[in-house]
Each structure stands twice: as C-alpha cells, then as structure tokens.
Amino acid sequence: MVEKIPLRKTIARLDSPAVIAFGNPLLDILVILKNDELIRKYSLKIDGETELCEKKLQELVADLPPEIEQYTNPGGSAQNTLRILQWLCDETHESQISVFCGGLGNDQRGSILEKLVRLAGVDARYSVHPTLPTGLCVSLVCGTSRSLVANLGAASVYTLDDLKKANPQLDSIKIIYIEGYFVTHSLDVAKELVKRAQEKNIIVAFNLNSFYIFQDHQAAICEMVGHAKIVFGNAREMIALAQALNVKYDDVADIPFLLNSLKRITMDVSSANSKDWLADDGIFIMTRGGCAPAIIVWGRGQSVQVQPIVPKTPIVDTTGAGDALVAGFLAGVLAHWDPKSCLELGCKVASCMTTRLGVTLPNGVPPDFLP
C-alpha cells in the first residue's frame, strides 16, 4: 500500500493558488431562537432554505428579538468551503491556496464581508455591482434545527464580462469548484470554466447544494453534473437529481452507484486500467445525515462508506457542515490521497464545524486532521 503523504507536506510542494471557486458570496447573520415563533410567522422551512426579497428580509432582521445576540460571519457555500480549505492547508496564510469569485454590492455589508474573507487567507476577487445590495443570509437556529433565509442581491449576478475582468490565471490551478446556486444565474460562466478546465486538465468539482433549485433550474444542474468530475450532494439532493435524470432506484444508497454507471455509459469511460482514481469522471459523494454513513462511488462502481464522526462536544449548529465536508475532501484530493482518506477527512472537518456557531474556524487545526 502506498504511504499517505501528510497534507501540509504535499500542499507546501504545490504552486499557489491551487483551487478557484465560483459561488454566491453572502454575509451570514446567525441567531439562536428560544422558540419557533419567528419561523412560523414568516412561514419558513425547518432545516430548509427560503429566498426573500430584500425588503422582506430586512423586516425579518428588524423583527429579531433585541435581547438575542447576533453573530456575523462570511457565508455562501463555496466561500465557506474555501475559508475552511485555507485553514486546513495553511492557517498561517503564507501560502494562499485558493481564489474566490462572485458578485458583491458596493455597501457596508460588502466591505465587512470582503475584510472577513481576506482575513481568512482567501484571495477574494469580487465583481462589484453598485446598484445591488451585498447578499445576506439569516440563519435561525432553534434547538437542533435551523432555517436559512437569504436574499442574493449582488451575488445573483456574475457575467462572462465579470469573468474576463477577473482574468483568473489557471496555470497552477488543480481544482475548479462551482456551487449549484451559482449556475442558477451564471450557467454560461460555468460552461466557459468547464471549457478552460478541459483544455488544462483541471478537475471540475460541483455541489448540488439544494434540492429546491431543481424546481426551476433542473436542466442547468443536470448539465453541470454531466461536465463535472466530482459531484457532491446530500440524500435529498441526490434524490432530486435521480428524478431529474429519470434514474429509478430501490434504495437511496443505490443512487450514487446508478449515477456513476450512467456517467460511464454516457461518457464511455472506465478507470479499469488506471491506478489513479481521479482519472475518470463519475465520482459521486453522498451524505445522508444522522448516523448514516457518507458514500463515495468512483471508477467501475467502486465505493467506500465512512461513518459520520460524533463530535466530542455538543452539536450547536449544522450550518456549513456540508461545505466543511467538501473542504476536507478537496484537501485530500490536493494531497493525492485515496478516496476513503479524502472522505474521512471531510467527515472529520464536518463534525468539527457542527460544534461551532456559524462557519467559524478554530485557532488551530486538530492534530488528527493532519496525518
């Protein structure tokens, strides 16, 4: 068996930046509610996501009980992942591992967000849209459940012209990571990135992000799944994808295997003769929450399951757990680890994140994260 090279040692050898991500940059406000009265008043979804207009969202913020403390952090799926990835790979920020691109407003909210993201060591390259507010997401935590309420604002705009102005240099890039929310408004940009990735043999990783976006953007999501080498999603999102692709299944756990098989048939590829598990497309990672194991399927239906890791301290907030799993997994990919080791690190980081309010990073990386 090939010895696993320590993460930091591998990262130190990489040219930076190694990862570029595209997503919806949001400023997160997290509050812990004593009851679900506010959630019911605004007809919000428990353990779900709701988009409101800016005016309605500001009404909700004004309605927050004044005695409850508000926690402000950077948010947005891909932006969360990059902050965690930078922390894992080099919390000293001597080496900037990642670049993030997305739309931002020219306002106080945007200034706060940009400062916080740069403090985390991420090279933030925002496209500024002065006529739109910076995107905001309010996370209402009630017991072990949470409801996310967002207004995308400027995050909902990122054009090919914005990409041209950002002029991302891809020579050192190993992974292009795209969140599902991003393609709901910028599919043309995502397709251009896929084209450039193919020219330079860069891995494209894609996150389904939410089952509700399939309602209006099914074709765009399915197209990106077809282009991506690695696809992340939880059980509800994978079910939505299976339904969109008319994939029949008996058990939810079968879905990543069926999607892998469908991808191989469509692409006519197989890694049977390759020792590199990343040689082909069709890598699907599915989480199921609770005590159900996470699953990764690759190659000719090869798979590994990893049990979720129970944190040593109580779970206080599940916000960003999925983004954290992606960060750990992609760190393992950068280190050329095997699929199981990548998924194990992802599960460790996700477990750690559930013990913290919002997507906030501990001062140091636990020693067992860095074998």
Say how far apart CA 209 and CA 41 lie, in whole Å: 26
Tokens 């590994």 map to which residue?
A: 304
Which of 47, 323, 338, 368 is catalytic? The answer is 323
pLDDT at 234: 97
Backbone φ and ψ for 5, nearest 5 degrees, come out as: -80, 135
- Amino acid at position 54, single letter: E
Tokens standing for residue 316: 């206080």
pLDDT at 1: 40
For the chain, 371 residues long, the average pLDDT of each consecutive 10-residue run is 76 93 96 90 87 92 90 95 96 90 97 96 96 95 86 97 94 98 98 97 96 95 97 97 97 97 71 73 93 95 94 82 97 96 96 88 85 68
Alpha helix (H) residue ranges in the chain = 7-13, 37-41, 54-63, 77-90, 108-119, 160-166, 180-200, 214-227, 235-244, 255-267, 321-334, 339-353
- DSSP of 222-240, one letter per residue? HHHHHH-SEEEEEHHHHHH
Q: What is the CA radius of gyration of the chain?
A: 19
Say how far apart CA 15 and CA 32 lie, in whole Å: 41
Task: Based on the residue annotation, tell me whether 323 is a catalytic residue of this protein.
Answer: yes
What interhelical angle do 255-267 and 214-227 show, nearest 10? 60
Say how far apart CA 17 and CA 100 lie, in whole Å: 10
pLDDT at 5: 83
- Amino acid at position 270, single letter: S
Long-range contacts of 219-225 (CB under 8 A, 24+ apart): 220/183, 220/184, 220/187, 221/180, 221/183, 223/187, 223/191, 224/178, 224/180, 224/183, 224/187, 224/190, 224/194, 225/259
Residue ranges of domains in the chain, CATH in brackets? 7-26+75-134+152-369 (3.40.1190.20)
Say how far apart CA 296 and CA 274 lie, in whole Å: 18
Say how far apart CA 102 and CA 124 lie, in whole Å: 8
pLDDT at 142: 86
pLDDT at 271: 47
